[in-house]
Amino acid sequence: MKFDTPAGANPTDRMQVLGKPLDRYEARLKTTGTATYAYEYKDVAPNAAYGYILGAAIAKGRITAIDTTLTEAAPGVIGVVTYRNAGKPGVGKFYVQKMLAAPEVDHYHQPVAVVVAETFEQARAASALIRVDYARTDGRYDLAAQKGSAPVPPQGEFGGPNEKRVGDFEPAFAAAAVKVDETYTVPDQAHAMMEPHATIAKWDGERVTCWTSIQQMNWGTRDLGLILGIPKANVRLISPFIGGGFGGKGTVQMDLALAAISARVVGRPVKIALQRPIMFNTTIHRPKTIQRVMLGAGRDGRLTAIGHESWSGNLPGGRTEPTVASTRTFYAGPNRLTRMRLATLDLAEGNAMRAPGEAPGLMALEIAMDELAEKLGMDPVQLRVVNDTQVDPEDPSKPFSTRPFIQCLREGAEQFGWDRRNAKPGQVREGRWLIGMGMAGAIRAGKIAKSGARARLDGKGIITIEADMTDIGTGSYTVVQQTAAEMMGVAPDSIVVKLGDSTFPETPGSGGQQGAPSVTAGVYAACVKLREAVAQRLGFNSAEVDFSDGRVKSGNRSVPLADAAKGGDLLVEDVMEFDKLKDQFQQQTFGAHFAEVAVDAYTGVVRVRRALAVCAAGRILNAKTARSQVIGGITMGIGAALMEEMAIDQRFGFFVNHDLAGYEVPVHADVPHLDAFFIDEVDPTISPVKAKGVGELGLTGVAPAIANAIYNATGVRVREYPITLDKHLEGLPAIA
C-alpha cells in the first residue's frame, strides 16, 4: 500500500481499542520473569560456549605481540579469537567502529581477543592470562583542544548539510537590539541501558542465527552480513525482548559481531554479553558537543537572527552529532546560520542516543532562549509563543503538518502553575532550599518509514500479526495489538503479536521514534488486505463491509469473523510505503517541559521537585505506554541535567567512570512526581493511523527546563552540563 495523500476517515478513527491505556501485551511475562532475553536462552543452543572479551589496555597505538599460550592451556578453554584468526571482519553501514583491534588499536577497550570456554568463569579467568604488548602512540581525546582545527565535514546520510544559511545572519545579529551569545557544553553520555548487549550465535553451514538484543533488524542483518562477509539473507536475528536500548543497540555491536565470529572460529555456538566497562569505552555513545548559540531579537522578542554552531568529535569517518537540527525548524526568524564542525577523536564511536541531535541541541538552544527572555524582560513562555511559526522557517513553502506548540506551552503553563514563578532569580526560599521554576520547548522529528506486516486469521477468530519490529520496553507489542484489533473489529485478546524476528516482514525497527508510527502503518496495510480477503471469502462486497464486535456485517447480514477461516487460515502480507508527503510537510512532534527544582542553599545539591510535559505527537496509540515513554524521557532528562557525564582521562584517553557505580543515572530518589499530557490531535499526513512517535520527544527539552529552573532558583547560570553542585557553589548565598 502506498501512502501518498493525507489520510481520510478510516477504521482507526473509531478509537475503541486504539488510544486506550491497555496494559502491556507482554506484561505478565515481564513481571513474572518469564520473558526470555538474549543471554538467557538455554534450549536453542544447549552446547553454547561462553565468550569473554579482553579489551585493549591502551587508547591508541598497535598490538605488537599477543601471547595466548597460557590462556589456551587454561581449564575449559576452547579457543581464543584475535585478529590473527578472525578473518577480516568488515564494517557495517551505520557504525564505523572496528570490532577487533587488528592490530591497530582505535580506542580504549577495543576488543583485542575473545576467550571461548566451557563456562563463563573459565573464559573470564583465562582472559586475564593473555599477554599483550602494545606500542602506544599519542591520541586525541580533548574536543576543546581539537575544536580550532575541526572542519565542516561533507554532508552525511543523516542530519542534512553541516552548514546552512538563510537570509544574512551576521549583519542581522550585529544589528539586533537584544542579543545572547553564549557557549554551552554537553558531555559524552552513555545509554547505560539495564540489559547489556548480549548474543548467542549459532552457525548452520553458511547461515548464522543469533539470539540477540538489537533495535533494528533490517540494519542488523545488513551490517552483520557485511561484517561476516556473507549475504544478508544468511543472517537471522531473533530479539523478542530487549532490556532497554536508547539507540545503543541500533545495529550490530561487539557482542553480536564477536559471538558470530567466535562461533565460526571454534565451530560451536558462542554466547557473549558485554562486560559493563566494555560497553562504556567500546560501544557507541552520545558524543560531547560544544555549542555556541547566538540569538538576536527585537525589543518585541521576535528573533531576527538565529545562529547555532556546534563542535563534536568522532573516530575517522564517524558522523557529526546533529545538534542544530531542531534550531533549523523550531523558531521563526529571517536570518539564520547553523553550522557543525567535526573533529577527529580517538575515543569510542559517537553515534545515536535517544533523540540524537535534538536532545543535546535543545540543551543549548533552550537555555539561550531563557537567557534571551531574561534580557528582554519577557516571560519565557511568551517568548516562545511570539516566535512560533506554522511554516518551515527555512522553507516557508512547506507548512508543518500539525504544530500545536503554542497549545502545549499554554496548557503546560496552566497545569503547572507557571504564573506562580518569580521571574527574578534567587528570590524564593523554603528553609535551606532555594526554589526555582523553569521551562523549555521541545521539538523532535516525526519520522516514518516503509514498514511491512503479515496477518493471519485462523478458524478460532485469532489474528496473528508478524513484523520484525522490536520492543525495547516502549510498548510496540501493545500498539500493534491495538491497531490490529481496531482494524479488524475484534477484542484485543483475539490478537497475537509476534515481533523481533528478522524473518518477519521488514520494519524500520525501534529508533528515531519512528517505530510505533511505522509498524502500525504496516499493520494497517496488512489489515486492509486481510479485510478484503475476509470479505471475499465470505462473499461480501468489500466496500460496504463493517468489521466490529468480532463479526463481519453488511446490510442485514452478519457473520462471525472466524467463519472466514473455516476453509483454512487466511494469510496476507503488505508493506506501507511513503511517498511525497514527507517532502510537502514539515512533520515534527512538539512539547513543552516544565520543572520545579530545589537547590540546597548550603551545599548546592539540586533535587527536582516536580516536572510536567505537554506533548503533541499526532494520535496517541496507547495512553498508558505513551505516558510511560514521556515520563521515562523526563527521568533520562533529569540524569542529563544533573549527573550524567562520561569523564575523560586526557592522558590515557578513556572514559574513567566506566560502570554503573561511576556513571550515575537517576535512581528512584531522584525522580519526583512526573506528569505527561498529550494534545488531542491527529496527523493525517503521516500515515492512515495518523500517529507520530513520542519516545524521543519525551527526553528532548527536559534538561534545559531543569537547567533554567536551577538558574531561577539560584541566579547562577551554568552552561556546562551536568549541573553538579560544584559549578554553582561559589555563587550561592554566603553562609553565616
On whether the CB atoms of residues 404 and 618 are closer than 8 A, the answer is no
> Residue 725 interacts with another protein (CB under 8 A)?
yes
Q: Compute the least distance from the CB of residue 184 to another protein, in Å.
A: 19
Near another protein by CB under 8 A: residue from 168, 544, 569, 659: 659
- CA nearest 228: which of 248, 255, 250, 208? 208
- CA nearest 15: which of 696, 689, 727? 689
Q: Compute the least distance from the CB of residue 257 to another protein, in Å.
A: 23
Near another protein by CB under 8 A: residue from 157, 419, 430, 726: 726
> Residue 125 interacts with another protein (CB under 8 A)?
yes
Q: What is the C-alpha radius of gyration for the chain, rounded to an integer number of angstroms?
A: 27
- CA nearest 439: which of 505, 481, 378, 356? 378
CB neighbours of residue 204 within 10 Å: 9
The interface region with another protein, picked from 169-177, 179-187, 422-430, 644-652 by CB under 8 A, is 644-652
Near another protein by CB under 8 A: residue from 164, 165, 607, 624: 607
On whether the CB atoms of residues 455 and 573 are closer than 8 A, the answer is yes
Near another protein by CB under 8 A: residue from 643, 677, 681, 720: 643
Near another protein by CB under 8 A: residue from 292, 662, 681, 720: 662
Q: Compute the least distance from the CB of residue 237 to another protein, in Å.
A: 30
Near another protein by CB under 8 A: residue from 159, 167, 277, 334: 277
- CA nearest 654: which of 46, 136, 15? 136
Backbone angles phi, psi at 708, to 5 degrees: -70, -35
Total binding residues for another protein by CB under 8 A?
43
> Residue 664 interacts with another protein (CB under 8 A)?
yes
The CA distance from 595 to 712, in Å, is 11
- CA nearest 16: which of 492, 353, 399? 492
> Residue 194 interacts with another protein (CB under 8 A)?
no
- Is the peptide bond preceding residue 722 cis, with omega within 30 degrees of 0? yes
Q: Is 696 a catalytic residue?
A: yes
Q: Compute the least distance from the CB of residue 56 to another protein, in Å.
A: 8
- CA nearest 416: which of 401, 399, 394, 437? 437
Backbone angles phi, psi at 195, to 5 degrees: -80, 125
Q: Compute the least distance from the CB of residue 724 to another protein, in Å.
A: 5
- CA nearest 677: which of 727, 622, 613? 613
On whether the CB atoms of residues 95 and 216 are closer than 8 A, the answer is no
Cβ-based nearer residue to another protein, 194 or 667: 667
> Residue 152 interacts with another protein (CB under 8 A)?
no
Q: Indicate which residue of 532, 696, 720, 730 is catalytic.
A: 696
CB neighbours of residue 604 within 10 Å: 21
- CA nearest 520: which of 473, 560, 475, 564? 475
Beta strand residue intervals within 371-424, DSSP E: 391-392, 395-399
Q: Specify the 3-state DSSP secondary structure of 362.
A: helix
Cβ-based nearer residue to another protein, 151 or 731: 731
> Residue 609 interacts with another protein (CB under 8 A)?
no
Tell me which residues in 399-438 interact with another protein (CB under 8 A): 431-432
Near another protein by CB under 8 A: residue from 20, 124, 375, 553: 124
Q: Compute the least distance from the CB of residue 362 to another protein, in Å.
A: 22
Q: Compute the least distance from the CB of residue 127 to another protein, in Å.
A: 10
> Residue 658 interacts with another protein (CB under 8 A)?
yes
Cβ-based nearer residue to another protein, 506 or 645: 645
> Residue 29 interacts with another protein (CB under 8 A)?
no
Which residue do the cell numbers 551536568 mark?
722
Residue 522 one-letter amino acid: G
Near another protein by CB under 8 A: residue from 642, 686, 710, 716: 642
Near another protein by CB under 8 A: residue from 138, 414, 493, 649: 649
> Residue 118 interacts with another protein (CB under 8 A)?
no
- CA nearest 357: which of 156, 81, 97? 156
Which residue do the cell numbers 512526573 mark?
674
The interface region with another protein, picked from 122-130, 212-220, 253-261, 478-486 by CB under 8 A, is 122-130
> Residue 670 interacts with another protein (CB under 8 A)?
yes
Q: Specify the 3-state DSSP secondary structure of 138.
A: coil
The interface region with another protein, picked from 35-43, 123-131, 191-199, 357-365 by CB under 8 A, is 123-131
CB neighbours of residue 37 within 10 Å: 18
- CA nearest 66: which of 14, 22, 105, 24? 105
> Residue 63 interacts with another protein (CB under 8 A)?
no
Residues lying near another protein in the complex (CB under 8 A): 57-58, 121, 124-125, 128, 277, 431-432, 600, 602-605, 607, 642-643, 647-649, 651-652, 656-659, 661-662, 664, 666-670, 722, 724-726, 729-730, 732, 735-736
- Catalytic residue numbers, as ranges: 696
